Structures are given as structure tokens and as C-alpha cells.
Structure 1
Amino acid sequence: MVFNFRHFCFLALGLSLFSCGKGKLSSTPQRPNILLMISDDHAVQAISAYGRPISKLAPTPNIDRLAEEGVLFTQNFCANSICGPSRATILTGKHSHMNGFVKNDRTKFNGHQPTIANILQEEGYQTAVIGKWHLNTLPVGFDHYEILNDQGEYNNPDFMTKDTTIQRMGYVTDIITSLTKKWLGDREEKKPFFLMMNHKAPHRNWVPAERHYRTFEQTTFPVPSTYFDAYEGREAAGQQKMNIYRDAYEGHDLKMVAGVGSDSLLYDPWPHVFMERMTPEEQEKFLAAYRERNDDFYTTPRTEKEKAEWKLQRYLQDYLACVKSVDESVGEVLNYLEAEGLMENTIVIYTSDQGFFLGEHGWFDKRWMYEESFRMPLLMKSPFDKKQGMVVDQLTQNIDFAPTLLEMTGVDIPDEMQGKSFLGLLDGTSQDWRKSLYYHFYEFPGFHSVRAHHGVRTDRYKLMHFKVEDRWEMFDLEQDPEEIHNIYGDPAFAEVQQMMHQEFEKLKKEYQVPEEAQSKNKSSKS
């Protein structure tokens, strides 16, 4: 191991990091521990530290603690907005075409390539992953794992370990929290650790914990101005099938029933991961919590527009109730670290695998390079923070996570990693930073019919290319943050368009993007 003394001295002198587990003192500064918390499909709109209208009605005080005591990244993005590929990118520090996991099909992630886990394991770190994995292979580089089977279930989920598969009774977010704390308590205290706590929530189909079935029952969330978007000038956007009021499954997603007084859910193609995971007593409590609101849908006259808005409220109430449990989990784990004397020498990160639509453009889900899907949360509290409440506005991406954490631990970054360490943005030493980001989504044909596309984003402009149709879109994010007006081909933006094309070609060359044939493989549902 080659230790980076500049950062080590900053760490030791700036924050007196001589703690060594449970508050005991040591004469030798310890390499920092890492706790990487990744939720699934958690939109920045649903984190109150980002100050969005929806989150003001459903605050996340525990996640916000990381911003208040550490750093909030305002311009953080994913490289491929879909579950498995994004996780592969986080682990490897490489774009999808380089790490080999481009979409959620039957491809198996190669965990034997350099990843943050197996590199730190080789450097003497204890490594563990608990919760969602979703990479079609068992984890490599982890001393311990207890992972959900594929997507996992919200209620009474199955977990896979190195030795067996076991069903654990309870709510998935709470179970993952308990297993995380147990591993922390059982670990070998003399070694630093790298721990991933990967939540299933708030992934589809947004089943809250029993204690939160009614948490937002009386809350009316703001309707996005683009909820009834007509998709003018954006042909691919008009061809998707992820509209809340047309495409969401009324039983599985929206928990709607057949009629007044009915306990029979409407269409649900996956009952084995939903109601069938509940005990009869749990099913009754669940149905009872929704009965009055479901009856109201049938007994109160509504226009089609009002029905569409009712479905939005149902979706947001459940989604944000799932977020509520995730926020409670973050608070419980942060409190545990503080109580055990671990916080001062632990890098704590909260992020998601991508963004998510909360009714913008009428949508749920992700996949697009449009902002709500492309942008992902990133909040960090670490020994390297210059001050509390720091805000980083530079363009960062999930390919940067692994290189950053390796530099923070003093470990050399492999040349094949394409991301850049953003430690210099935290300690003030960064002299140069990227001016643009590359994005690539591959899954078409696939679930939700989102066309394959790739593109480039700068701090102000975005250029997108839909490959099969050979169509282009460009947006001025300063003047049009909702991405309604496609300005590609507008003579007034000819110079900008030329500049964006040049930047696009530069990034494709830099990241070694192949001119691949369009795949015909269909994706899984996540």
C-alpha cells in the first residue's frame, strides 16, 4: 500500500483522529472506516436538505444531518440510470461499457475486476455488504454478505449469505438496519472497515412499514407543473410507458381495489413479492389502512384529471412513507456510530443508485438522462471535510465514488478507473475539475419502453442522442430547468450546439465508448 501523506496529515491534524474503536485512544492514527449507504431510487426531490417543495412536506432530518455536519453535493449524477448498472459503476469507478454490466438482463457482474471492495479487502480492510445487491452474481471482495434475493421483498424478505438463504420476518428497511448494527458490533475492532448498507426502499412498489401506512394520509403534495406534459418536440418521451395515471399498475403500485368495501387488489403481476409475503394478520392491517381512501376513490365523483391527480397523491404518499423508514434507519446507524466512538474516524456517505421521477413529466421510474432521473443524491460526512455545512456545486458522478474513497484511505487508484477523486474539492486543493459529464442508457427494447440514448451535460447545457431513431435533443438548463423546450436545430443556439457536439465526441473518446450495435435483449423489471 502507498499511503498518501498529504491527506493523512490533513486527517490527523485537522480532526485529531487518534480514536480506535469504542472511544479508546491509540498512539497510531487509524485509516478511516467507510460506511456507504445506498438506497434504491431515492430522488433528490425527496431529501429536505435539497430544499425541494415535496420534501418540505416530508422532511428527512437524519439524512440532512450529513449535509449539516458534512458536505452536500448539488450536482451529482449517475452514469446509467438503472439499478444494477449504477451499482456496478459505483463499485468499479468505470462507465457501464467498461465494467461490462450495461443493463438489467442476465449478464453477470464480474466482481473479480478491480472494485472498491476487493481493493480495500486486499489492503487489510474488513468488508461487508448488507441489503440489496442485484448484480446477478454473489458478492466478491466481501468478507461478509447478507443480501436480498434479486429485488428482494418489503415484507418478511429472503436474505442470502455465504452458507444459506433465510427468510427474516419483519420490514426490510428495519431488518437491514439491525443486520448492519449487528455486523458493526461483531467486527474485528483492530481493523478498519468498508461497509455497504444497501436499502431496497424506496424502490417500486413502495410498500411502507406498518407504522407509516397512514403517515401521509392527510398530506396533499404539490402537483408538478409538468405532470400533464404533452412531450412536444421530444418524441422519445412521448413513447415511454411509465406514466403514473396510465401505466402504473393500479393494484401492485397504487394499492387500489376492485370497488367499495373490496379487499381484492386490481392488477398485480407480482403478488409473490407483495401481498403473498405478508402473513394473514399483516394483510388485514395493510388493507384496513387503505380501505377508507380506496372507498373514497369510488364514492367521490372525479373528472379524469382529478383521478390522475388522485393517483399521484397515492404514489407520493407511499413513496415518501418508504423514505421515512430509510431516514429513520440512517439516524439509527449514525447514533450507533456516535455511541460506539466510531464517528470521528468514519467516512459516512448517503446516496442512491440513481434519481427518480416523482410525477415530473407525469412519470414514475428513472432511465432517462432528464434531470430528475440523471441527478442522484450525495451527502457525506468525513474526516476530510473542511467545515460543517459545506456545499459542492461542481459536476460529480458515481464513477467518482471508488477513486475518492481509495484516495481517502491512502490506496493507489487503478489506472483503469475512469472516475476522478473529488477529495480535492473537499480539502480545497483541487486546481482543475471536469466541465462535462457523459451518460449512456442501453435498455431498449425493455421495461417502460425508454429508448436507448446517451449524451453530454455541462453546467448549463445538455445534449442527448437517441440512437435507434437518430434523433437529438438539447436543453438550456438555466432557462429551461424542466426540459420542456428542445432547442436542437434552433439557429439561435448553433454555436452552443456545435460546442456540445465537440464535447460529446471528446468524452466518447476519453471514456473509450465503442460504436456498438444496438442490443435487442430485453431487460428485467427493475
Structure 2
Amino acid sequence: MLLLLLTLIFPGFAQTSDRPNIIFILVDDLGYGDIGVFFQNERKALNDRSEPWIMTPMLDKMANEGAMLTNHYTAAPVCAPSRASILMGVNQGHAHVRDNQFDKEIGDNYTVADVLKSVGYETIAIGKWGLQGKGEAPNWPAHPLKKGFDQYFGYIRHGDGHEHYPVEGIYRGSKEVYEGYEIVKGLDKSYTGDLFTAKAKDFIISHQKEKADKPFFMYLAYDTPHAVLELPTQDYPAGGGLNGGMKWLGTPGHMINTASGEVDSFTYPEFANATYDHDKDPNTAEVAWPTTYQRYATVSKRIDDQVGDLLQLLNDLEIAENTLVIFTSDNGPSEESYLPKEYANYTPEFFNNFAHFDGIKRDVYEGGLRTATIAYWPSQIKAGTVVTSPSISYDWMATFADASGAFAPIRTDGVSLLPSLIGKGKQAPSEIYIEYFQNGKFPNYSEFLDSHRGRKRGQMQMIRKGDMVGVRYDIKNQEEDFEIYNVLIDPQQGNNLAVENPALQKDFKSTVLRSRIADLSAPRPYDSALVPALELGKVEKGLQMTTHQVSSAWIPAEIGKAISKQLVDFPSVEKVTGKGNLVLWQGYIKIPQGGKYTFKADRKESHFFMRIHDIAVLDGNFETTNSPEGSVYLEAGYHPVKIYLLKDDATPQLELSWKFEEGPMEMISSEFWFR
């Protein structure tokens, strides 16, 4: 009877497309240790009254019915660069937004939304953005509607996301919520976590009424539990999904069904009445949790309720089976609570939000980067799946492309995680590389190792291969060694294995240089370090040229088997004789003298891309009318190269040039190409 009723209400009800809906839920500053099944349940089981805990039943249920990714990393330990890498599918060595570049434009290239939109997805971004660039509102150069999203609702500016009541502005003043390019009026008493949930539900319900045969992609970026730790107006509405929970009313002054009562007033009773053994003496009376931690627990449980509400809606609409939902955080836990002076400052020590790791937000030890990540897709992901293989947040572009049948662009540094999630196919290893700069110091928490506490952050790097992680803090030059840890058996990173692993040390130092390109807006002390050449045996003159047939509007990351193969002296379109619209030249470029090389590609309105090692040296895949240039510091010797040209024009052209240091630009002749 319910199915019949829903079918009448929603024409085309129960989506039949084999392309899943995709919901990417990104929360702000939630630590790996905040989620029950990842850590808090363990604290509860110990029943140490001096170590309080938070329960997350809805997220636990989601994890138990889906997959837990226990070795998943964020691309950066702070929000703006982390989000930029997610949306663009690249590591921080290739991202346009790095370090603390809040409100910088995300860059002109393909986003996850562009990729999914190319195969027919309706796209919407809800919540915190912070990647819009300079300009007068609302004409920002990187507004979400200019970056592949059909709809947008939320906070554009990074700083607005510190305040969870747009109108009342309890701690940081009133803020602006945008719907598209227009400021939304009448958001009185609208707690943002509730507001964004209500809007998300409203979109899904409307979509199923009007476009049920079309898949959708939702980027749902909450601004909680980050920043001010403001409380909701009231308890979470009973029920969930179609029959309860959050509701979008759309009436100015009463936009959602919790926009009433007292702002910043509601604490869940289990936290308001909670006590703990503050002095670790069971013979003395317990005391109430400090108000600050009642607030944090309430904000976190609210997220749990909101996610449970959304999942219930998917079930009520009978689209859960064909919807892939990802839940993750942008970085590790924060101590930045922005509370009034009458409240104690928040510290992750109270709940150990960093779990068994050392580090918090802005650190590149595990606590700042490891994120509690859940994937839910009932028809494809087996309940109780635990993915232990390492992965990173810029893998999601390739994963979503794989799930939807779209083409991830060649620029992406990520790999599809679908084989690990659904248990089919061979999982390619993730390339986990992170760089970041911050002038602060490592927290002086008693739970952290003495060797870490108080050390300067400065320029930092992290790389992981298998179970081994390399970390560098306060880097002054490329010659400095990585600390090396086996994080499988040493998650707190206390046993530095660098001395025992000289070969791995050399590999880490080489790999980080082969995985990034310098950005003048985020200078690094290793920017001008020479990328090591390969030690090769016998080589021959020329390159291997193959042609491929692709149906993508851009050069895709996966190009399939070659249609034709031939040997050529140098990259030239005139030499192409085989069928196919994509040409790939690969082999080695011989660098005659170590130093700075600037490459340039002149082409005729064709998609073009060139990698040296894993460095995206020339990217003409998004903008096809310019002549892309890129500079990289190379050691003398042989360096692997891949050059791609998508023949969009009937008479394509290509000329590759280079210059050494500040010398003249000249064509790269055949004497420098090898295979």
C-alpha cells in the first residue's frame, strides 16, 4: 500500500537508472575519534568514568550497514585546501588552493560536479563553500554555479561558516546565506545544521517528484561541529524521512520546522545531566561535564540525527538501494571553539577526538589527517565491510566517475575506490601525498608523545606507501629526512624507523618531488630541488605513439587499449596515421643539464596534457585555446613522460617547446626523446 501511495505521489517513483545518486556529506573539524564505531564505543566499553564518551547511533548504523574506511585521509589538515582537493580530485601539490588560502578561487578546471554533470546528473551544493575567489558579491569568479553545480544553497564565504545562526549571529554577527546568486531573507532562528538538512531533504523530495529518472549528485558540506559550538533551538523533530525530522517550510521567519523557541538553547538531556570522574578518584563525587563539552557533544549528536534523517528519507522514497552516500570530515579535530569568555576553551582532550593518534587540525601526523569515513550503498556495498587499504579524499572524483560511468579527467591524482567498496575488481593503490604550511606548534596535550609536543609545525609533508608513513615538520630543505613509521602497529607514531629504512627514505624523498609542482602563492623550501632522474639501462631514440578512441569531452584518466602503435622521433601530429581521436606519446625525455625547465605547448584548440613522472607539468585539458606553460626543476638524466592530445579539430597541431633557466624558448628536438 505504501509503495502504491508513494508511486502516486512521485511519478516515476523508485528510480530505475543504473547510475546511482551520489550524496557526499562533508562535516567540519570532526575527528576520527568522534564516531562511535571508530573510537567512542571503545571508550564506553572501558567504562572509565574519567574518560567521557559520545554516542552516534545513526552513524554507527550507517557504518554497520555499509563500509568503514579505517585508513582514509583528508588531502589537507585544514578546510579550504582540503575541500579544493576533494572537488578537483588532485593532491595539494597540484591544487590551486593551498595552505590557509581561505576564499581563494578553486581554479579553472574540472570539478566533481562537472564530471557527473557530463553524464546527466542533476547537481547541487549545499552548505559551506569558501572557494569563491575575490570579487564583489555575488559575482565571485568561482561561485558554485560556475563550477558545475546546477543549484547552490549555503554560506559562500569561509568566515560565515564560523557562525551557525545566519540572522542572530550570537558570537560572530549576522552572516549571508545564498540561494544561487541571491541572499536568502527570513532565516530567523535557523540553526545551519538543521537548515542545510532541511534544504537537502527538500531537494531530494522535489527531485523525485519531477526528475526521478535522472540521477543527482549532492555535495552537502555542513559547517558543524566547527567553530562556535552553538546549540540548536530545540530537540530534533520526531521521526525522520518523509514522516518527520527536519522539514523545509520556506516561509520567511519560519523557514524550517525548528526555527522557533530560543536560539542557542537546547542541550541533549543525556549530556546536560552527564557527570564524570574529574579528579580520577572514585571515592569523590563526580561532577557535571563542563558546559563547553555539553555543547560539543550536542552539536555532534545533532549531526548524527541529521544523517539518520537523510538516510531514512532515502529509504522512504525507495532510492536507498541506488544511492551512494559518503560521510567524512575535512580534517582532524580542532581546539578552535570561538566561545565567549564565560565558557572554557574547547580541547579535543576531553573526548580524545583524535582517537589513538597524535595530532589535530593543522598537523600532518595521523590525528590531523586520518578521517572517520563511511560509505553506504545497500545494493552494492556489503553490510559490515571494513576497508583497511589506505585511501585519500581526492580519490572520490575517480570513484564517483567509476560508479556513474563518467570519465575522470587525466589531471586527477586519485584512483577509484569502487573495487574496495563493492568487492569487485582489483583495487589500485592510492597515491597519498600531503603538504601544508602553518606557523603554529604541535599541541602540548598530555595524551601526546613528548617527542611531538610543542614542536614547530612550519612547512610539513606526509606521504604513505603501504603501512609506512613518512612525516616531515618544519622543513628547511629537501635534504632533511622523513620520520618513518609503521602506522599499522604504531598509530601514535612513536617509533621512528628512518635509520632502518634508508631505501624507503630515498624513495619518499624522490616521490614527493615527482608528485607536485611549485605554486608561487604557496612557496616551499623544496620548490627548486631537482626532481631525480631514473636510473635506466639501455634506451633507444624516439617515443612510443599510440592512438585510442574515447567518448569523453576531455582527456580521461582511463583511455583504454590502443588502436594503433608506432615509433616516432618526437611528438608530432603529422606523424599520426592510426585511427582514434586520442594520441598518446610516452617514453623518456633526456635532460642535458640539471636546473629549471619551462615547457610550452602550442596546439590548435585541442585538449592537451603532459606529465613528467606524476607531475602535471602542462595542463591544456580544460582550456583548449591557450598555450599552456609549466616550470619544473629536473635533474640531468632520463625522466618518464606522457603526452596526450585529443584531436578535437580536423587539422590538429602540436609543437612542444622548452627553455632552460632564463634562456630562449625553442622546440624540443628529436635528440631529447627516448624509449
What is the TM-score when the length of structure 2 is the normalising length?
0.55
What is the CA-CA distance between 1:514 and the residue it aligns to?
Answer: 3.6
2:305 aligned with 1:328:
yes
2:55 to 53, 56, 59: 59
1:22/1:372 Cα in 2 relative to 1: closer, same or farther (>3 Å)? farther
Provide the rounded CA distance (Å) in 1 between the counterparts of 2:16 and 2:469: 48
2:368 to 367, 373, 379: 373
1:435/1:336 Cα in 2 relative to 1: closer, same or farther (>3 Å)? closer
1:423 to 418, 429, 434: 418
Provide the rounded CA distance (Å) in 1 between the counterparts of 2:234 and 2:503: 54
2:210 aligned with 1:181:
no
Aligned to 1:119: 115
1:28/1:179 Cα in 2 relative to 1: closer, same or farther (>3 Å)? closer
Aligned to 2:330: 353
Letter of the aligned partner of 2:34 in structure 1? A
Q: Conserved in 1, the CA contact under 8 Å of 2:234 and 2:261?
A: no
1:392/1:22 Cα in 2 relative to 1: closer, same or farther (>3 Å)? farther
What is the CA-CA distance between 1:103 and the residue it aligns to?
Answer: 2.7
Letter of the aligned partner of 1:180 in structure 2? A
Q: Aligned pairs, how many?
A: 417
1:83 to 67, 76, 79: 79
1:43 to 16, 28, 31: 31
Provide the rounded CA distance (Å) in 2 between the counterparts of 1:21 and 1:499: 60
Provide Cα deviations, 1:323-346, integer angstroms capped at 9, x if missing partner: 111111001111111111211111
Q: Tell me the secondary structure at the aligned position of residue 99 of structure 1.
A: coil
Q: Conserved in 2, the CA contact under 8 Å of 1:436 and 1:459?
A: no
Q: Tell me the secondary structure at the aligned position of residue 462 of structure 2.
A: strand
2:467 to 460, 468, 481: 460
Provide the rounded CA distance (Å) in 1 between the counterparts of 2:288 and 2:364: 25
Aligned to 1:505: 510
Q: Conserved in 1, the CA contact under 8 Å of 2:77 and 2:330?
A: yes
Provide the rounded CA distance (Å) in 1 between the counterparts of 2:18 and 2:361: 40
Aligned to 1:440: 435
Q: Tell me the secondary structure at the aligned position of residue 186 of structure 1.
A: helix
What is the CA-CA distance between 1:402 and the residue it aligns to?
Answer: 0.8
Structure with the larger helix share: 1
Q: Tell me the secondary structure at the aligned position of residue 326 of structure 1.
A: helix
**Could you tell which deviates more after superposition, 439-448 or 126-135?**
439-448
What is the CA-CA distance between 1:407 and the residue it aligns to?
Answer: 0.5
1:186/1:29 Cα in 2 relative to 1: closer, same or farther (>3 Å)? closer
Provide the rounded CA distance (Å) in 2 between the counterparts of 1:515 and 1:146: 31
Letter of the aligned partner of 1:376 in structure 2? T
What is the CA-CA distance between 1:80 and the residue it aligns to?
Answer: 1.1
2:131 to 135, 138, 144: 135
Letter of the aligned partner of 1:465 in structure 2? R
Query: Which has the higher relative contact order, 1 or 2, with Cα contacts under 8 A spaced 6 or more apart?
Result: 1
Aligned to 1:160: 178
Provide Cα deviations, 1:128-159, integer angstroms capped at 9, x if missing partner: 01111121341121111011142422124531
Letter of the aligned partner of 1:318 in structure 2? R
What is the CA-CA distance between 1:467 and the residue it aligns to?
Answer: 4.7
1:182/1:281 Cα in 2 relative to 1: closer, same or farther (>3 Å)? closer
What is the CA-CA distance between 1:23 and the residue it aligns to?
Answer: 8.6
1:446/1:83 Cα in 2 relative to 1: closer, same or farther (>3 Å)? farther
Percent of aligned pairs with the same residue?
25
Matches within 5 A, 1:374-393: 374-382=369-377, 385-393=380-388
Provide Cα deviations, 1:236-290, integer angstroms capped at 9, x if missing partner: xxxxxxxxxxxxxxxxxxxxxxxxxxxxxxxxxxxxxxxxxx999647x589x9x
2:499 to 481, 491, 494: 494
2:70 to 71, 74, 85: 74
Aligned to 1:192: 215
CA RMSD, 1 decimal: 3.9
1:392/1:82 Cα in 2 relative to 1: closer, same or farther (>3 Å)? same
Matches within 5 A, 1:100-111: 100-105=96-101, 108-110=104-106
Q: Conserved in 2, the CA contact under 8 Å of 1:435 and 1:459?
A: no
What is the CA-CA distance between 1:427 and the residue it aligns to?
Answer: 3.3
What is the CA-CA distance between 1:518 and the residue it aligns to?
Answer: 6.2
Aligned to 1:99: 95
**Could you tell which deviates more after superposition, 90-99 or 175-184?**
90-99
Q: Tell me the secondary structure at the aligned position of residue 101 of structure 2.
A: coil
Letter of the aligned partner of 2:165 in structure 1? N
Aligned to 1:404: 399
Provide the rounded CA distance (Å) in 2 between the counterparts of 1:512 and 1:134: 24
Provide the rounded CA distance (Å) in 2 between the counterparts of 1:350 and 1:464: 26
Structure with the larger strand share: 2
2:390 to 392, 395, 416: 395
What is the CA-CA distance between 1:483 and the residue it aligns to?
Answer: 2.8
1:22/1:416 Cα in 2 relative to 1: closer, same or farther (>3 Å)? same
Q: Tell me the secondary structure at the aligned position of residue 194 of structure 1.
A: strand
Unaligned runs of 5+ in 2: 1-6, 46-52, 133-141, 168-175, 237-258, 281-286, 335-347, 444-455, 525-675
Aligned to 2:19: 31
Aligned to 1:483: 493
Q: Conserved in 2, the CA contact under 8 Å of 1:32 and 1:345?
A: yes
Letter of the aligned partner of 2:195 in structure 1? I
Q: Tell me the secondary structure at the aligned position of residue 197 of structure 1.
A: strand
Q: Conserved in 2, the CA contact under 8 Å of 1:453 and 1:465?
A: yes
Larger Rg belongs to: 2
1:497/1:439 Cα in 2 relative to 1: closer, same or farther (>3 Å)? farther
Q: Conserved in 2, the CA contact under 8 Å of 1:468 and 1:518?
A: no
Q: Conserved in 2, the CA contact under 8 Å of 1:125 and 1:192?
A: yes
**Could you tell which deviates more after superposition, 373-382 or 360-369?**
360-369
1:200/1:451 Cα in 2 relative to 1: closer, same or farther (>3 Å)? same
Aligned to 2:253: none
1:503/1:129 Cα in 2 relative to 1: closer, same or farther (>3 Å)? same
1:339/1:446 Cα in 2 relative to 1: closer, same or farther (>3 Å)? same
**Could you tell which deviates more after superposition, 475-484 or 315-324?**
475-484
Q: Tell me the secondary structure at the aligned position of residue 184 of structure 2.
A: strand
Q: Conserved in 1, the CA contact under 8 Å of 2:58 and 2:304?
A: yes
Q: Conserved in 1, the CA contact under 8 Å of 2:125 and 2:152?
A: yes
Provide the rounded CA distance (Å) in 2 between the counterparts of 1:90 and 1:20: 38
Letter of the aligned partner of 2:183 in structure 1? T
**Could you tell which deviates more after superposition, 327-336 or 377-386?**
377-386
Provide the rounded CA distance (Å) in 2 between the counterparts of 1:173 and 1:344: 25
Provide the rounded CA distance (Å) in 1 between the counterparts of 2:360 and 2:473: 19
Letter of the aligned partner of 2:143 in structure 1? L
Provide the rounded CA distance (Å) in 2 between the counterparts of 1:447 and 1:478: 22
1:22/1:458 Cα in 2 relative to 1: closer, same or farther (>3 Å)? farther
Provide the rounded CA distance (Å) in 2 between the counterparts of 1:83 and 1:435: 21
**Could you tell which deviates more after superposition, 185-194 or 327-336?**
185-194
Aligned to 2:447: none
2:458 aligned with 1:451:
yes
What is the CA-CA distance between 1:82 and the residue it aligns to?
Answer: 0.9
Provide Cα deviations, 1:420-458, integer angstroms capped at 9, x if missing partner: 001111333443532762121134479997422002224
**Could you tell which deviates more after superposition, 432-441 or 346-355?**
432-441
Q: Tell me the secondary structure at the aligned position of residue 39 of structure 1.
A: strand
